[in-house]
Amino acid sequence: MKLAFSTLGVPGMPVADVVRLAAGHGYQGVELRAHPEEPVHPGLSAPERAAVVQEFKDNGIEILTVAGYVRAAAEGDDAPVLAELAELVDLAHDLGAQNVRVFPGGGGQDPAVADATAARRLAAAAPHAADQDVRILLETHDSHRAGVDVARVVGTVGHGQVGALWDIMHTWLSGEEPPASHAVLAPHLGYVQVKDIASAENTEPLPLGAGVLPLEACLSTLDPESWVCWEYEKRWHPDAAELPGLLAAGREYLLRVGAAGR
């Protein structure tokens, strides 16, 4: 199992500190939140992008994903969505990242309409992603919370550069059991995001293993070489404990539970 954490857990932290935090706690990768309030975003110049690449290279850490905020199924014209997605794909390519994360964002639309919109846009973006050697991953989230929902869209696209990102909190909140989620997502799966929470009503982040999410059941479905990323949502819950103090125990927990599940 290869481990990463998301910079959502350390909002605004400089790249050098993020990389050293990963290296110092035994994580092989980082999921970079690509938002204008963060150090890494599509507005970076070529020299700034090169500096980020060098920082990660010097410390032997991979950039797993550029986590963007494109909403593939959102209402409106395709052009702005595709332009934003192309910028993220180009950023990921320049940084040497494997993936770009997108959300469904279908809102209250008819599911069939949302599915068709997302599939059309992702299919349109796929050739550019292939040219840039980047994979676009649709996360189990918001309007497409269950694995079966995301798999339905990604399967319709039918392109190897468009896959799925399994956020286990959202599939659990949808009522889908881990084996069912894995069964539908496995043919498309990029990697898994783990986290823990107290309940469906209280989603403030907790240390891994301290809450109710079925982490062991999810991890037991994965190939031993899979990437697992801890998405600790400190950005949305400022009163939560600081992530750096939890990283060592979180790594030990994931390795122990992942091994036990096999």
Q: Residue 191's beta-bridge partner residues? A: 165
User: Which ranges in 141-177 belong to alpha helices (H)?
Assistant: 147-157, 168-173
Half-sphere exposure of 125 toward its Cβ, with a 13 Å CA cutoff? Answer: 33
Residue 262 reports pLDDT greater than 90: no
The mean predicted confidence, pLDDT, of the chain is: 97
Cα-based angle 63, 50, 133 (whole degrees, multiple of 5): 50
How many CB atoms sit inside 10 A of residue 116's CB?
A: 15
The domains of the chain are located at: 2-261
- Read off the pLDDT of each residue in 3-17 and give the average, rounded to a whole number: 98
Tokens of 98: 């494997």
Please write the tens of the pLDDT for every residue from 111-168.
999 999 999 999 999 999 999 999 999 999 999 999 999 999 999 999 999 999 999 9
What tokens were used for 215? 């982490």
User: What confidence tier does 261 reach under pLDDT thresholds 50, 70, 90?
Assistant: low
Percentage of the chain surpassing pLDDT 90? 97
pLDDT tens digits, 245-256: 999 999 999 999
| DSSP-assigned states of every residue in 74-134 | -SS-HHHHHHHHHHHHHHHHHHT-SEEEEE---TTS-HHHHHHHHHHHHHHHHHHHHHTT-
Tokens of 56: 């990660």
Thinking of the domain 2-261, which architecture would CATH place it in?
A: Alpha-Beta Barrel (3.20)
pLDDT on residue 217: 95
Is 141 in a helix, a strand, or coil?
strand
Q: β-strands 99-103, 2-6: how paired?
A: unpaired
Residues in the chain: 262
Q: Predicted confidence band at 259 (pLDDT cuts at 50, 70, 90)?
A: confident
More confident of the two residues 224 and 20? 20
Q: Which residue has 């320049």 as its token pair?
A: 94
> What average pLDDT does the segment 53-82 reach?
98
258 band by pLDDT with thresholds 50, 70 and 90? confident
Task: Supply the pLDDT for residue 205.
Answer: 98
Residue 16 has a pLDDT of 97
| Closest to 205 (Cα-Cα) out of 237, 160, 247 | 237
Kindly report, residue by residue over 194-216, the tens digit of the pLDDT: 999 999 999 999 999 999 999 99
